[in-house]
Amino acid sequence: SNNNEAPYTLLVADWFGQSINPALLFRFELTSMALIFSAARSQPAHSHPEARTGIFLAELWKYDVAEFFLTDPITNHYLEFNLSPEGAHWSAEFRAPRESIREINDPAITSQGESRSDGWNAQAVLPLEWLQKHFHFGPGSRLNATFILDSPHQRFLTASDLGEG
């Protein structure tokens, strides 16, 4: 990768502290136009069987998936965004955990990915203008990346320490 790309963060343990090998890599990049979420792993994925690059598809979380959560500092609602190893995506706005307000299938949001026998990499692009309009994106926003790996025996990873329970 070239030098002006953001570095990847490695996650080497699940949220119970058990080792994840190979590690999962992810990054958030903020450009003048978009928030870009990328994830990769050098191990085959067990993905939603209907997942294809760029499509909107529900229930990605039942399989291997990269996710992020973004809080709205004004409303305290949050965006949940799911990204499959193939680059399918799903998102929704929530007012509280498991209290969905609406699914968000907006053509402004794009995704892509590639799942191979030696691993996968996926990326989603969310325009800043869209994030500011719908989630008041800015300095007060909070963000966390989470992951589900090794389906069907799912293992859960989080970039931020979520504490107990």
Instruction: For residue range 81-112, list pLDDT tens digits in order.
Output: 999 999 999 999 999 988 999 999 999 999 99
- How much is the pTM? 0.93
Q: What is the pLDDT of residue 68?
A: 97
Percent pLDDT > 70 in the chain is 95
Please tell me whether the peptide bond between 152 and the residue prior to it is cis, using omega within 30 degrees of 0. Answer: yes
Specify the pLDDT at position 2. Answer: 47
In 10 A of CB 114, how many CB atoms? 14
Q: What is the pLDDT of residue 98?
A: 87
Digit-coded pLDDT (tens) for 19-48: 999 999 999 999 999 999 999 999 999 999
**Termini Cα distance of the chain:** 38
Residue 26, CB-side half-sphere exposure with 13 Å CA sphere: 22
Contacts of 138 (CB under 8 A, 6+ apart): 73, 132
